[in-house]
């Protein structure tokens, strides 16, 4: 008996010692954790690990190069309404995202960027300063103070660049917008663009009337933003100080001019090119004497072949889905499959050029592709729908009835690329060297020295950057803008985004290669895809019932109105015949029933989602901690059981 008692006492002392040891271990573990945190702050200060799916907090290599190339100090001023946005958590979350990105820019700039933050409280000097800088205050509601979330940058020579308001919808382009602002301040010179056009787009004297014709609005807009210099079609060289070549309808260019373009692009020049299988704004030669001029075609087939780029000059794209209406016989609107209004999925929402565009109009457009031998990467910007087809340009040209073009569909439907970004190495279209007519003696005769024609290039020295559009009519005013004259001033009113596409393309391509390489990123917003899916499912389930009830309610209210208008003539406003009164009571009861059912349907629309929300809260608040606690208890008693058995 004594031996048994001693054994139990020994086991009890052993358990007490174990509990004390466990307590001491926990204290030591806590002390070790604190020491580890202090050491990590000292040893790993500035170290960052980005574990987000789209690397949201990691700057791209292009941005890093832009920041490392800054030579003079740049000041950045962030204006955010911190106090006024206390109840707007989504805006505050995005403001924090902007702030973190700006601080990352500041850290990577080698001290060249200095970030300052201001809270423009109403009627304060900071608010006045924000307004002077051109920042936009957004109203959160009637009677609410304006909210600011904008950025201003200044350099040492007094230039200013701003982002009036950081719209959350542009979060995927946040890095690009910031890098562009910094790049513009680091290199403030006005960008020079060379315009070489086979169509009179820049404005000139009309030989038929002797009167000056205004420039196309797209060129007028570009002149307000860039230094646009016209290049003669007979030029044999594109100057090195041209940041971008804007090539429109290159029809009938000489070999010498093509060679100059070829070498410019191989030397690292960038280009925005418009070609067309049937340019309705560029009349060519008449087919017979006495006939009107026919629409002309344009291409760069010699270069396209060398680059592995496919453009069929005798094919026009038709699209039954995005076909626009034209005036038919008797003014009747008819769908024209060759005049396309690209929207929605036809426009790339991930490229900075087209991200915020809604509608692009084209007419008798061609389509682009690359072959297997091409080293170019093609990124479609504008495409037809999946129902897109092609028809021979000659057949299209002489088709009098737009509806007859639908008969040309042969079932070979697919999305056709109308405009695209091309990047990558390219080879010369003149492997045997410059044309014989282009030599140093010609340069001397034009007053240039022998350096006017540098060494012949066989391939690009850097990856080429081009945007090519297979439609010249794209640029004409009739496709995207109405222009009115107001006291001699031309006032444009755009109904499509063609002009914005050109300005965005010029702006993007004239940036440095590093800036062009900054693509759209993911967003920090992580949607509840299961909840969204349930919402769509619930809407599909109840929408039909809701619409049916709404239609029934509308019809019933119309009958009530008719009943009230057919009351006994000569009686007061509340007098009905017994039959009318009975029918009125029935209508009112029916309307009450329908309204009750309609409210129930709308309430049930979110019922499944509410249940899911409750379940998620229960899981996160109660179940997960309970499972952790249960696991800990099992581990604890498991250890005690092992010790007891020992």
pLDDT digits (tens, 9 = 90+) for 124-137: 999 999 999 999 88
Mean pLDDT to the nearest integer, 351-377: 94
Contact call for residues 300 and 273 (beta carbons, < 8 A): yes
* Integer angstrom CA distances of residue 335 from 321, 360, 409: 10, 17, 15
Which pLDDT score, from 0 to 100, does residue 419 have? 98
Which pLDDT score, from 0 to 100, does residue 86 have? 86
Mean pLDDT to the nearest integer, 97-113: 93
pLDDT digits (tens, 9 = 90+) for 402-421: 888 888 787 778 999 999 99
pLDDT tier at 29, thresholds 50, 70, 90: confident
Which pLDDT score, from 0 to 100, does residue 515 have? 75
pLDDT tier at 188, thresholds 50, 70, 90: confident
At a CB cut-off of 8 Å and minimum separation 6, what does 287 contact?
294
Q: Which residue has tokens 């769509």?
A: 536
At a CB cut-off of 8 Å and minimum separation 6, what does 372 contact?
308
Mean pLDDT to the nearest integer, 490-503: 91
pLDDT tier at 514, thresholds 50, 70, 90: confident
pLDDT tier at 76, thresholds 50, 70, 90: very high
Mean pLDDT to the nearest integer, 341-367: 93
51 pLDDT above the threshold of 60? no
* Closest CA relative to residue 240, chosen from 207, 270, 275: 270
312 pLDDT above the threshold of 60? yes
494 pLDDT above the threshold of 70? yes
Which pLDDT score, from 0 to 100, does residue 450 have? 47
Most confident of 68-72, 77-81, 288-292: 77-81
627 pLDDT above the threshold of 80? no
How far apart CA 165 and CA 571 sit, in angstroms, is: 63
Strands laid side by side in the 360-363 sheet: 323-327, 333-342, 360-363
* Closest CA relative to residue 219, chosen from 239, 196, 240, 250: 196
At a CB cut-off of 8 Å and minimum separation 6, what does 296 contact?
249, 251, 276, 279, 282, 283, 284
Residue 283's φ and ψ, nearest 5 degrees, are -65, 135
Which pLDDT score, from 0 to 100, does residue 90 have? 87
Mean pLDDT to the nearest integer, 84-104: 90
Which pLDDT score, from 0 to 100, does residue 359 have? 95
Tell me the Cα Rg of the chain.
Answer: 35
Mean pLDDT to the nearest integer, 513-533: 62
CA 371, 372, 377, 381 torsion: positive or negative?
positive
- Per the structure block, which two tokens stand in for 545? 């019932």
Give rounded-to-5 percent helix, strand, coil for the chain. 45, 20, 35
Distance of CA 371 to the CA centre of its chain: 27
The better pLDDT of the pair 574, 22 is held by 22
Contact call for residues 310 and 370 (beta carbons, < 8 A): yes
- Per the structure block, which two tokens stand in for 481? 């803008």
pLDDT digits (tens, 9 = 90+) for 424-438: 999 999 999 988 765
Which pLDDT score, from 0 to 100, does residue 275 have? 97
């Amino acid at each position: 008996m004594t031996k048994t008692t001693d054994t139990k006492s020994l086991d009890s002392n052993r358990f007490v010692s174990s509990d004390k040891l466990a307590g001491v271990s926990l204290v030591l573990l806590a002390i070790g954790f604190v020491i580890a945190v202090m050491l990590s702050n000292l040893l790993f200060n500035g170290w960052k690990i980005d574990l987000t799916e789209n690397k949201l907090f990691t700057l791209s290599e292009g941005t890093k190069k832009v920041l490392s190339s800054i030579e003079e100090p740049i000041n950045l001023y962030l204006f955010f309404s911190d106090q006024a946005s206390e109840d707007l958590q989504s805006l505050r979350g995005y403001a924090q995202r902007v702030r973190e990105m700006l601080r990352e820019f500041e850290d990577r700039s080698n001290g060249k960027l200095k970030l300052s933050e201001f809270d423009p409280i109403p009627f304060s000097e900071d608010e006045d300063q924000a307004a002077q800088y051109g920042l936009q205050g957004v109203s959160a509601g009637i009677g609410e103070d304006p909210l600011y979330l904008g950025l201003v940058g200044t350099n040492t020579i007094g230039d200013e660049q701003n982002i009036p308001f950081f719209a959350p919808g542009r979060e995927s382009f946040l890095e690009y917008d910031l890098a562009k602002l910094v790049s513009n301040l680091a290199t403030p010179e006005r960008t020079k663009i060379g315009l070489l056009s086979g169509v009179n787009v820049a404005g000139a004297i009309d030989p038929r009337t002797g009167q000056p014709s205004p420039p196309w609005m797209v060129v007028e807009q570009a002149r307000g933003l860039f230094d646009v210099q016209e290049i003669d079609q007979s030029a044999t060289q594109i100057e090195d100080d041209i940041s971008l070549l804007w090539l429109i309808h290159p029809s009938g260019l000489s070999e010498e001019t093509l060679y100059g373009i070829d070498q410019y692009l191989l030397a690292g020049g960038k280009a925005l090119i418009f070609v067309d299988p049937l340019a309705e704004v560029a009349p060519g030669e008449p087919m017979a004497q006495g006939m009107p001029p026919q629409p002309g075609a344009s291409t760069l087939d010699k270069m396209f072949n060398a680059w592995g780029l496919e453009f069929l000059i005798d094919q026009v794209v038709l699209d039954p889905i995005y076909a626009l209406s034209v005036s038919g016989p008797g003014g009747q609107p008819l769908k024209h499959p060759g005049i396309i209004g690209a929207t929605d999925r036809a426009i790339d929402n991930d490229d900075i050029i087209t991200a915020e565009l809604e509608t692009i109009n084209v007419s008798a457009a061609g389509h682009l592709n690359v072959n297997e031998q091409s080293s170019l990467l093609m990124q479609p910007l504008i495409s037809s729908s999946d129902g897109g087809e092609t028809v021979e340009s000659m057949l299209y040209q002489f088709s009098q009835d737009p509806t007859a073009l639908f008969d040309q569909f042969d079932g070979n439907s697919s999305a056709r690329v109308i405009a695209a970004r091309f990047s990558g190495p390219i080879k010369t279209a003149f492997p045997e060297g410059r044309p014989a007519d282009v030599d140093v003696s010609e340069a001397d005769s034009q007053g240039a020295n022998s350096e006017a024609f540098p060494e012949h290039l066989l391939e690009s020295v850097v990856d080429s950057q081009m945007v090519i559009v297979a439609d010249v009519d794209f640029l004409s005013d009739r496709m995207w803008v109405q222009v009115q004259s107001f006291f001699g001033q031309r006032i444009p009113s755009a109904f499509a985004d063609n002009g914005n596409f050109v300005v965005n393309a010029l702006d993007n391509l004239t940036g440095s290669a590093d800036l062009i390489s900054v693509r759209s990123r993911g967003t920090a917003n992580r949607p509840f895809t299961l909840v969204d899916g349930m919402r769509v499912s619930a809407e599909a389930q109840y929408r039909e019932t809701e619409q049916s009830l709404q239609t029934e309610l509308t019809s019933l209210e119309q009958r009530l109105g008719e009943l009230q208008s057919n009351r006994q003539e000569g009686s007061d406003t509340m007098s009905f015949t017994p039959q009318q009164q009975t029918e009125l009571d029935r209508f009112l009861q029916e309307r009450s029933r329908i309204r009750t059912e309609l409210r129930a349907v709308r309430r049930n629309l979110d019922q499944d989602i509410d249940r899911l929300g409750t379940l998620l809260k229960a899981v996160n608040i109660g179940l997960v901690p309970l499972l952790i606690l249960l696991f800990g208890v099992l581990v604890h008693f498991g250890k005690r059981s092992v010790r007891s058995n020992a």
